[in-house]
Structure formats: C-alpha cells, structure tokens
Chains A and B, each alone.
Chain A
C-alpha cells in the first residue's frame, strides 16, 4: 500500500496544524502500524515557507528510509531562484516531485511563473501534487488547466476536491489524461462515487499524516481503517492503494 499524501513534522514555520514532533523512525512505525509500505512525503514547513532549507530538511528526513519514503519538495514560484531550486531538489536532493499549495503559498495556477518549474519537474521525470478543493485559488479545474499546459507531466489533485469541489475534481480528471486524483480528506460518499466513475487507473489515496498532535498520527491511522467502511470493491481498493501509485511512481 502506498500513501500518496503525507507530511514531515513542522520544524520551524507552522503556526497552524503544527502537530507533534516525530522522527523518521516514528513515522515508519505509524506506516507499519497502518500497513503503509511506501509514502509520498511532502514538506510541512514548505507549505508555509517554501525555502531551500525546507527542501534540505525534507530530503534528510526521507533519506533515513529511502526505500519507504519518497520526498516531494516545494518552491515559491515567483522567486527568481525558483527554477534553480527546482533543479537542485530534483537532482542534488533526489526528490521525486513538487508540492504546490496555491492558497497557502499565495499564487494562482494560471501564472506563467509555474511553467518553467513544471518543465523542470517533467524533465527530471517528476510529478506535481497540488492542494485542491479550496476556492478561490485551489480548485480542481484550475489545476487541470495547469496540467493541460503540460500534457506530459503527471499532476495530482492532492485532496480529490475535498467536500465541495469533488464533483469538479471528477469531471476534471475525466477530461485531463495526465491528471490524477488523490482521495485524501475527501468524504467517504464522495470517495465511493469517485471510485465508481473516475478512470480507475488514476485514483490514489492519501492520509495527510504528519499533522497530528500525536506521533502515532491517530487520525491518519483512522483514515486507513475507514476505507473498510466506504463500500468499495476489492479491485477498486487494490487499484487505489497499490497498482495506481506504483505505476505512477514507476522508476521515480
């Protein structure tokens, strides 16, 4: 099972959802307890302050268990060094993709500054994950527009539209071949509907682990357990948790 949406601890910059301190070994314990074999790990500080330091610290965290954790970094897209930092994190740091959080980081997906960053990620064989589900600047159709500008780049809706934009997420995925949908914080009825109607090979799952007040990441463990109550088929579960993320990550 691959959890496609988790976070490091917030070491320095979070003043909301800061969560508990934990080290890489404790995070592996959470993964083991929840049956998670591999996790895509996103910077937590990078959500609030996408700096090279945040990328360095993320890379050091995932390097403790490189077979289990896959790091995705962050940049502030309007900064003059954004492309250089993207190149650095994909090559020197060995990260596998980039996480965008447009409403926390303060940009629109339509801004041209994102294009050379996406080209850099694509050239390195990486993946873009974006927060979604939150108007005004993190809606699925906006992210799909970015994906259409870069049709060879895999782009992941990090939250499947959350509570109020999940229908938009489903429609966007259906019309955008390089767009993937990660069910993460999406309500169970929407998850069930998405799994029935989305292209089955482009649905992923994430817990958003890393934000808990406890190192054991109790809410994330509950989200894994909750899947049993969604009312989905064994094939859908296998595709979402194993086959699709494995295929998407491929050699990344």
Chain B
C-alpha cells in the first residue's frame, strides 16, 4: 500500500489543490491513501475553515484521505478546543508550521497541543526548512522533550539543512524523516543506510501541490531498496505512526 504522508488541499498563495484533483492524481499514480492538511491561510489563521475542509474531504473519500488537524498555538485554549472539534470530525494527526504560524518550536507555545496529540496518539507533522524557526535540530530537541509524541520532520530540512536531518534523526528516536524533495542518490540513501536510522524511519510524501507528484513518487520507486524497505518508506512508516493496519 502506498500512503502519501503529507499534502495540502485548498487555495494557497501560489498553488491550489482540490480533493477531487488529488484523488485523480492518486488514481493515476497508484497512491492508495493520503494525509491531507489544509491550505496556508487555514494553517496560519482560518483554522476552523481548514479543519472543516479536510475532515469533510476525508469523510467523503471512502477512507482514502485522512485529515491532519491544524490550530495556531498562539490561540491558547481556543486552539485546543479547535483540535477537539477536528478530532470529533475525524482528524487523525496534527500538522504545525512554525513559519506560517509564527512561533518558535522551543518557546513553549506548542506544548499544550503536543499534550493533546499525545493523549490522542496523534503523530505531529512539523514543516522544516531554513533558519531560524524551521530547522531539524530544534525539532529533535522538542522531540526529546516530548518522548511520548511521534514527530514527522516534514521536508527533512530541504534543502541546505538536509545535512541536519541525519543528526536530528539519530538524536530523536521518536522522529521520522520525510522523502519529499530529497534525491535518493544524495540524501535518502545515506539516511536509510545509517544503522541508527534506516528506511523504516522515512516517510514518503509528495508535498502536493508544491511539487510534481509523479517525480516525488519516482524518487522512491527509482531508489534501489529491498522490498521490505520500499514498503516501509511508501506506507509502512506512516501506517505505524497512525496505527493503521496495511
């Protein structure tokens, strides 16, 4: 089973993706299921609109789409109420973006949301990238502070902080890496070959609509892996995070 671990649906600043278009692409590429987060404005501000959109898309997808919930941690108690509402509507994981939401991974704002995620056994996707607030190493520290939470290092520090991805994954066993943008022949192969990391701590995602989805899938299918490793990257890792049987 192929599971796309992260896409965003809705209208972004320069991109747009509808659930129907996503499902068509999944059909074309042979992707069975996908975790969907809402668009950028919904992540940053219009949390309720976004949660309503992704949980509705998931509910009408016949089980093919699974919803990330979002809530800006600056909202405090209201953020937890919003996550509760999203959970009631079927969300299965939390997605945060410290750049879009304007917080520091280590400033404490996220702690109540992480406690919520831990209580629900939700994995937490964190978008990583460039300094100062989206780096892999602070995420590893955060993961160390919350060993009960399972984190996804979204984008694995693409691009110049791919060099931090391995150290972050070695430091935090409750952290998994994300394949999108990362060439297998420069970045992913080293992570998979690392005895402290391995393929079962890497999660395939297309990061649609920011990418060419076919290219993102090809970078995993072209990668010379054992069958067991490929199954892990393409679906096993994220299924384990979600407690899915595949």
Query: Residue-by-residue, is B172-194 near A (CB-CB < 8 Å gives 1, otherwise 0)?
Result: 00000000010111100100000
Q: Tell me if B214 and A229 are in contact (CB < 8 A).
A: yes
Q: Tell me if B212 and A164 are in contact (CB < 8 A).
A: no
Query: Residue-by-residue, is B159-182 near A (CB-CB < 8 Å gives 1, otherwise 0)?
Result: 110010000000000000000010
A residues within 8 A CB of B99?
164
Q: Would you list which residues of chain B between 118 and 136 have a CB under 8 Å from chain A?
A: 129-132, 134
Not counting A164-B129, A187-B210, A187-B211, a sample of 10 additional A-B residue pairs whose C-beta atoms are within 8 angstroms of each other reads A135-B130, A162-B158, A162-B159, A188-B210, A190-B14, A218-B183, A219-B185, A222-B183, A222-B218, A229-B214
Q: Tell me if A226 and B212 are in contact (CB < 8 A).
A: yes
User: Taking the complex as formed, is A11 at the interface, i.e. its CB lies under 8 A from any CB of chain B?
Assistant: no
Q: Tell me if B211 and A188 are in contact (CB < 8 A).
A: yes
Q: How many angstroms between the C-alpha atoms of A187 and B8 in the bound complex?
A: 15
Query: Residue-by-residue, is A162-185 near B (CB-CB < 8 Å gives 1, otherwise 0)?
Result: 111100000000000000000001
Q: Which of A163, A185, A229 has the most chain B CB atoms inside 10 A of its CB? A: A163
A residues within 8 A CB of B183?
212, 218-219, 222
User: Taking the complex as formed, is B219 at the interface, i.e. its CB lies under 8 A from any CB of chain A?
Assistant: yes
Q: Tell me if B158 and A163 are in contact (CB < 8 A).
A: yes
Task: State the main secondary structure of chain B at its contact with A.
Answer: loop
B residues within 8 A CB of A16?
163
A contacts, CB < 8 Å to B? 16-17, 19, 103, 133-136, 159, 162-165, 185, 187-190, 192-193, 211-214, 218-219, 222, 225-226, 229-230
A residues within 8 A CB of B210?
187-190
Residue of B14, B130, B186 touching A189 (CB-CB under 8 A): B14
B residues within 8 A CB of A193?
14
Decide yes or no: A185 and B219 within 8 Å by CB, A164-B130, A218-B183, A219-B183 being known contacts: no
Q: How many angstroms between the C-alpha atoms of A136 and B212 in the bound complex?
A: 29
Question: Number of contact residues on B: which range applies?
Answer: 20 to 34
B contacts, CB < 8 Å to A? 14-15, 99, 129-132, 134, 155, 158-160, 163, 181, 183-186, 189, 209-212, 214-215, 218-219, 222
Residue of B131, B189, B215 touching A136 (CB-CB under 8 A): B131
Residue of B130, B134, B160, B181 touching A187 (CB-CB under 8 A): B181
Q: Which of A159, A187, A225 has the most chain B CB atoms inside 10 A of its CB? A: A187
Q: Tell me if B129 and A212 are in contact (CB < 8 A).
A: no
Q: How many angstroms between the C-alpha atoms of A219 and B179 in the bound complex?
A: 13
Q: Which of B129, B130, B163, B210 has the most chain A CB atoms inside 10 A of its CB? A: B130
Q: Tell me if B129 and A163 are in contact (CB < 8 A).
A: yes
Q: How many angstroms between the C-alpha atoms of A163 and B211 in the bound complex?
A: 11
Q: Which of B160, B163, B184 has the most chain A CB atoms inside 10 A of its CB? A: B160
